[in-house]
C-alpha cells in the first residue's frame, strides 16, 4: 500500500524501514502487548517510520497518506498503556520526536509554547532552570511527550492543585489531512468548539504539533504529611471535605488497606529508600522469591490462586494511608495546611511528614516496576476509573471484585475534585492472554454497571475502545462528524478510540446524593432557575452554562459535570466521572444536538463559613490578577464600578480573607456575602485597564466580544 504514495515527494523527510525501527514503532507500553511479546505472539509491523522536523513536513505526510489511503499512526514516546500508538500492518508511523523545540516562555502572561515531541521531564527541567513549572507530573513524565499529554487527556499527580492537562492548554496547533494546519484556542483561526474535541482524540482527528500551556512559578514551599485512617469510608470522607472546603491541596493520595499493608506504608522508616514505590507487589514478589524454590519463570502460586490470595490479604489488612500536601506561596500553604489538618485530625492518626516525603521522592518509580511479574510467568497492569463521591465506594468494591476473580488486586486514589475522584487499581495475574482479556472485560463492565467512567487519565487506545464507545453512546456522532471534515479518508489511527458497538440505554439519570455537591437542571436554565432547583449556592455561578472556554477561565472553575440527552432516539449520558479521559469532551456537542431538552449537573456549595471583602482601588483588575498570582483562589472575584470584591468559602475562608486583605492596597472592608455571577462569554482578551473588562485569569483580563461590558 505504501507504494501507492508518492514517496518521492517525501524523500527529504527523515524516515526508515529498518527492522529495528519498525519493531520499536509496533509497540507502546500496553501490558497486553508486553504479554503478547513475552509469549512470542507475532505483532503486526508498520511499513515505514517518519520523523518530520516541522509542521510543513507533517502536513505533507498526512495529505499524501490521505490521497493514497495509507493509515497513519501518530507516535510520541510510546509510553501509552492502552495500545493507542502501536503501528499497524501496512501503516506508516508519524513519530513526533523531532518536533522538540521549547519556547517562547512568556513570563508576563505565565505561558510557554512547546512542540509536541518535547519530553515531559526535559520541559520541566527547562522551565525549572528559569524558575517555572507546568505543574503536570504524570508518573510517566520521564518517557512521555507534551503531544501525548494532550492526545490522551492526561492527568498529573498534582491535579488537585494545577488541574488536569486539558486545564493547562491555552492553544493547540493541529495538522490535518483535509484542512492543513489549524490553530485553536488563544488567537486561533479554527472554531473554538474544536478544542474539547481535539483534546483526548488520540491522533484520530489530527496530529498535534505545538501546544501553548499555562505555567506557574516554582513553589516556594512544599508541605507533605501522612495520616492513617481506619477505613476506606473514613478516608474518602476526609478527602471529600478537603476538596469541597476549597482548600485545593496539591497532593491527595489514599492507599487501600491491601496496598497500605503490603507496602508497609504506615510504618516509620529512618530514611526514604530510593526503590520505594506506591505500588505494585514489589515487596511482596521479593518475599515470594525468598520462599520458593522453583525456576524463575515458573508461575508463582499466588498468581495461580488469586481469589484465595485476595481473601487472605483482605483479612490481614486494615487501615488506609493518606498522603496529603500543599505547595506554593508560604503564607497560603500555612493557612491551607492548618485548615486541612483540622479536618484530617478528626478521624485520622497523624504520621508526620515521613510518608509524604517518601512518596514524593519515589513518585515516578512505579512505571518501571512491572516487568518482574512478566519474568515470573504472569502479567501486571493498572486501571484507573472515576466517579462521583457517592459512587466511589461501590465503584471500588465492584471493580475490585471483578478483577479479584482472576488477579491479585489492590488500589489507591490519587486524583480528587469537588465532585468526586479517581481510583487506580494495580493487579497481577496468571500469564495467559485469555485470563488477561477476561480480567479487563469484567473490570470495565463492572465500571459501566456502576455508572462511572472507564478511564480517568490513561486514555482509550484499543484496550478500552469498546468500553469507551459504550460509555459515550450515540454522542460518538460528534466525533464522527469532525473526523469526516478533517480526515475524510479515515487514515488517522484507524481502529482506535471508538469502535462500532451496540448502544445500551444508560437508563434515567442517577439520583444526586447530597455529598456529590451537584444540582441537575435543563441546559438552558437561568441562574435563577438553577437556584430554585437547589437552595444551595452555585459553586461558580456562571450567567449561562458551561461558562467560557477553558483558556478564558480559571482552571479550578468548572461549568457542567454531567449532560443527559437523546441522540437518534437513544438516551445518552456524558461526564459520568470527574475529568473523564474517555475520548474527546462531547458534552457541548450533546447539548447542541440533543433531540429533547438536555439536562446538566453543575456544582453547588453547602452552607458553611463565608468571607467577603471589598475595596475601591486604583487598577482593580490588576489587583485581582495580583491576588490570583499570589496563590489565592477566591470563590468570588469581581469588579463592579471600580469596586473590587473578593470572597472565600470553606474551612479557611476567614484566614484567607485576612491574607487577601493584606495584599490589597488599603485592605479589604468585610461585607455581607453576595457573589456576583461570572460572565459566560463569548469573551476576548483585553488590557487590564480596559474599562470594558469583566473577568480575569492568570494570563490577563477579558471583555465581552463586541464590548458592552
Q: Is the dihedral of CA 54, 56, 58, 64 positive or negative?
A: negative
Q: Which string of DSSP letters, residue by residue, matches 137-189?
A: --TTGGG-BHHHHHHTT---TTHHHH--HHHHEEEEEEEETTTEEEEEETT-S
CATH number at residue 206: 3.30.465.10
Sign, CA torsion 256/259/261/267: negative
Question: Model pTM greater than 0.85?
Answer: yes
Asked if residue 458 is part of any domain, the answer here is no
Is the same domain home to 155 and 283?
no
* Cell of residue 258, nine digits: 491491601
Domain-located, residue 274:
yes
What rounded mean pLDDT belongs to the chain?
A: 91
Q: What is the pLDDT of residue 312?
A: 83
Residue 565 contacts residue 590 (beta carbons within 8 Å): yes
If asked whether residues 338 and 290 sit together in one domain, one would say yes
**Per-residue pLDDT averaged across 692-709, rounded?**
89
Check whether 413 has a pLDDT greater than 50: yes
Query: Is 131 in the same domain as 81?
Result: no
Q: Tell me: the pLDDT tens digits for 133-156?
A: 999 999 999 999 999 999 999 999
Q: Are 425 and 400 in contact (CB under 8 A)?
A: yes
The per-residue pLDDT for range 419-435, each reduced to its tens digit, is 999 999 999 998 899 99
448-467 pLDDT, tens digit each: 999 999 999 999 999 999 99
pLDDT digits (tens, 9 = 90+) for 174-207: 999 999 999 999 999 999 999 999 999 999 999 9
One domain for residues 311 and 427: yes
> Is 47 contained in some domain?
yes
Please tell me whether residues 286 and 433 are part of one structural domain: yes
Of 169, 185, 217, the one marking the end of a domain is: 217
What DSSP state is assigned to residue 192? G
User: What is the SS3 assignment for 37?
Assistant: helix
Cβ neighbors of 495 (< 8 A, separation 6 or more) are 88, 462, 465
Mean pLDDT of 527-555: 92
DSSP 6: -
Domain count across the chain? 5
Q: Is residue 45 included in any domain, yes or no?
A: yes
Q: Is residue 312 assigned to a domain?
A: yes
User: What pLDDT is attached to residue 291?
Assistant: 36
- 197 & 236 share domain: no
Listed in sequence order, the residues at least 6 apart from 565 whose beta carbon sits closer than 8 Å to its beta carbon are: 475, 571, 572, 590, 591, 593, 594, 595, 596, 598, 599
Mean pLDDT of 38-65: 95
Say whether pLDDT at 581 is over 50: yes
Domain assignment present for residue 495? The answer is no
Statement to judge: residues 261 and 178 lie in one domain: no
Here the CATH number for the domain that contains residue 393 is: 3.40.462.40
DSSP helix, strand, coil percent of the chain (3-state; round to 5): 35, 25, 40
| For residue 340, pLDDT beyond 90 | yes
pLDDT at 1 (0 to 100): 47
Instruction: Give the list of residues 6+ apart from residue 271 with CB closer than 8 angstroms, or none.
Output: none
Q: What is the DSSP letter of 334?
A: H
pLDDT in tens, 68-88: 999 999 999 999 999 999 999
Q: Are residues 532 and 419 in the same domain?
A: no
Got the DSSP string for 605-662?
A: E-S--EEEEEEE-SSHHHHHHHHHHTT---SEEEEETTEEEEEEESTTHHHHHHHHHH
Hey, which residues does 695 pair with through a beta bridge? 702
Name the percent of the chain lying above pLDDT 70: 92
Q: Final residue of a domain: which of 558, 582, 605? A: 605
**pLDDT digit string (tens) for 77-122?**
999 999 999 999 999 999 999 999 999 999 999 999 999 999 999 9
Mean pLDDT of 664-676: 96
| Confidence category of residue 247, pLDDT binned at 50, 70, 90 | very high
Reduced to 3 states (helix: H, G, I; strand: E, B; else coil), residue 222 is: strand
What DSSP line would sit under 645-708, residue for residue? EEEEESTTHHHHHHHHHHHSTT--EEE---PPPBP-S-EEEE-TT-TTEEEEETTEEEEETTS-
Q: Are residues 58 and 106 in the same domain?
A: no
Give tens-digit pLDDT for 635-662. 999 999 999 999 999 999 999 999 999 9
Reply yes or no on whether the pLDDT at 603 is more than 60: yes
pLDDT at position 560 is 93
The whole domain housing 254 covers 221-452
pLDDT at 684: 95
Q: Are 76 and 98 in contact (CB under 8 A)?
A: no
Q: Are residues 444 and 539 in the same domain?
A: no
Q: Is the pLDDT of residue 295 over 50?
A: no
Answer whether 65's CB lies under 8 Å from 92's CB. Answer: yes
Q: Are residues 125 and 176 part of one domain?
A: yes
Distance (Å, rounded) from C-alpha 599 to C-alpha 581? 21
pLDDT at residue 296, rounded to an integer: 44
Return d(Cα 123, Cα 127) in angstroms, integer. 6
Position 305 scores a pLDDT of 80
Q: What is the predicted pLDDT for the residue at 310?
A: 81
Percent of the chain with pLDDT over 90: 82
Q: What is the pLDDT of residues 523-535, one digit of tens each?
A: 999 888 988 889 8
In this structure, is residue 509 part of a structural domain?
no
Name the residue with cell 519515589. 362
Residue pair 509/560 in contact (Cβ under 8 Å)? The answer is no
Domain presence at residue 657: yes
521 φ/ψ angles, rounded to the nearest 5 degrees? -140, 170
- The DSSP 8-state label assigned to residue 524 in this structure reads T
Last residue of a domain, one of 70, 95, 120: 95
Per-residue pLDDT at 264: 60
**Are residue 406 and residue 331 in the same domain, yes or no?**
yes
Amino acid at each position: 500500500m505504501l507504494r501507492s504514495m508518492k514517496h518521492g515527494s517525501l524523500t527529504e523527510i527523515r524516515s526508515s524501514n529498518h527492522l529495528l525501527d519498525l519493531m520499536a514503532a509496533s509497540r507502546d507500553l500496553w501490558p497486553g502487548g508486553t504479554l503478547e511479546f513475552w509469549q512470542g505472539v507475532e505483532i503486526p509491523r508498520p511499513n515505514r517510520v517518519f520523523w518530520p522536523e516541522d509542521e510543513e513536513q507533517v502536513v505533507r505526510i498526512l495529505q499524501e497518506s490521505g490521497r493514497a489511503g495509507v493509515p497513519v499512526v501518530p507516535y510520541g514516546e510510546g509510553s501509552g498503556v492502552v495500545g493507542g500508538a502501536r503501528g499497524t500492518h501496512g501503516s506508516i508511523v508519524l513519530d513526533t520526536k523531532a518536533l522538540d523545540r521549547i519556547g517562547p516562555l512568556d513570563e508576563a502572561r505565565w505561558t510557554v509554547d512547546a512542540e509536541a515531541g518535547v519530553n515531559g521531564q526535559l520541559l520541566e527541567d527547562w522551565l525549572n532552570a528559569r524558575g517555572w513549572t507546568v505543574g503536570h507530573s504524570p508518573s510517566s513524565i520521564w518517557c512521555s511527550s507534551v503531544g501525548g499529554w494532550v492526545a490522551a487527556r492526561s492527568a498529573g499527580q498534582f491535579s488537585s492543585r494545577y488541574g488536569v492537562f486539558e486545564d493547562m492548554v491555552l492553544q493547540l496547533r493541529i495538522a490535518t489531512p483535509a484542512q492543513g494546519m489549524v490553530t485553536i484556542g488563544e488567537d486561533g483561526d479554527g472554531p473554538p468548539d474544536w478544542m474539547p474535541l481535539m483534546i483526548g482524540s488520540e491522533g484520530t482527528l489530527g496530529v498535534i504539533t505545538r501546544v501553548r500551556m499555562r505555567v506557574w512559578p516554582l513553589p516556594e514551599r512544599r508541605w507533605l504529611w501522612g495520616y492513617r485512617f481506619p477505613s476506606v469510608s473514613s478516608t474518602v470522607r476526609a478527602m471529600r471535605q478537603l476538596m469541597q472546603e476549597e482548600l485545593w491541596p496539591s497532593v491527595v493520595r489514599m492507599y487501600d488497606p491491601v496496598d497500605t499493608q503490603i507496602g508497609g506504608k504506615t510504618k516509620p522508616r529512618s530514611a526514604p529508600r530510593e526503590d520505594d514505590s506506591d505500588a505494585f507487589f514489589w515487596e511482596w514478589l521479593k518475599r515470594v522469591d525468598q520462599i520458593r524454590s522453583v525456576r524463575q519463570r515458573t508461575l508463582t502460586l499466588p498468581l495461580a490462586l488469586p481469589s484465595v490470595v485476595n481473601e487472605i490479604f483482605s483479612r490481614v489488612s486494615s487501615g488506609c494511608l493518606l498522603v496529603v500536601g500543599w505547595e506554593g506561596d508560604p503564607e497560603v500553604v500555612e493557612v491551607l495546611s492548618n485548615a486541612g489538618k483540622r479536618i484530617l485530625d478528626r478521624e485520622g492518626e497523624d504520621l508526620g511528614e515521613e510518608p509524604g516525603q517518601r512518596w514524593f521522592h519515589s513518585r515516578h518509580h512505579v512505571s518501571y516496576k512491572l516487568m518482574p511479574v512478566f519474568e515470573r510467568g504472569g502479567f501486571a497492569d493498572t486501571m484507573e476509573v472515576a466517579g462521583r463521591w457517592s459512587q466511589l465506594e461501590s465503584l471500588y468494591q465492584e471493580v475490585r471484585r471483578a478483577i479479584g476473580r482472576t488477579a491479585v488486586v489492590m488500589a489507591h486514589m490519587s486524583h480528587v475534585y469537588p465532585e468526586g475522584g479517581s481510583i487506580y487499581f494495580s493487579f497481577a495475574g496468571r500469564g495467559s492472554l485469555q485470563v488477561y482479556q477476561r480480567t479487563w472485560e469484567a473490570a470495565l463492565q463492572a465500571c459501566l454497571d456502576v455508572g462511572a467512567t472507564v478511564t480517568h487519565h490513561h486514555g482509550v487506545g484499543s484496550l478500552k475502545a469498546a468500553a469507551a464507545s459504550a460509555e459515550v453512546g450515540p454522542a460518538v456522532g460528534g466525533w464522527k462528524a469532525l473526523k469526516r471534515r478533517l480526515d475524510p479518508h479515515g487514515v488517522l489511527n484507524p481502529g482506535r478510540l471508538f469502535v462500532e458497538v451496540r448502544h445500551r440505554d444508560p437508563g434515567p439519570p442517577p439520583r444526586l446524593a447530597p455529598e456529590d455537591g451537584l444540582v441537575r437542571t435543563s441546559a438552558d436554565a437561568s441562574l435563577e432557575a438553577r437556584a430554585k432547583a437547589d437552595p444551595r449556592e452555585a459553586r461558580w455561578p456562571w450567567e449561562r452554562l458551561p461558562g467560557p472556554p477553558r483558556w478564558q477561565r480559571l482552571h479550578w472553575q468548572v461549568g457542567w459535570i454531567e449532560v443527559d440527552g437523546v441522540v437518534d432516539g437513544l438516551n445518552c449520558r456524558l461526564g459520568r466521572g470527574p475529568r473523564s479521559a474517555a475520548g474527546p469532551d462531547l458534552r457541548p456537542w450533546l447539548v447542541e444536538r440533543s433531540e429533547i431538552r438536555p439536562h446538566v449537573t453543575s456544582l453547588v456549595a453547602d452552607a458553611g463559613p463565608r468571607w467577603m471583602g471589598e475595596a475601591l482601588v486604583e487598577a482593580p483588575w490588576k489587583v485581582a490578577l495580583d491576588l490570583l498570582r499570589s496563590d489565592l483562589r477566591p470563590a468570588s472575584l469581581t469588579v463592579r464600578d471600580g469596586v473590587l470584591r473578593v470572597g472565600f468559602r470553606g474551612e479557611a475562608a476567614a484566614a484567607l480573607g485576612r491574607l487577601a486583605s493584606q495584599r490589597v492596597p488599603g485592605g479589604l472592608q468585610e461585607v455581607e456575602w453576595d457573589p456576583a455571577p461570572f460572565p459566560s462569554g463569548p469573551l476576548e482578551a483585553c488590557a487590564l485597564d480596559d474599562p470594558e473588562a469583566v473577568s480575569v485569569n492568570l494570563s490577563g483580563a477579558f471583555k465581552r466580544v463586541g464590548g458592552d461590558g
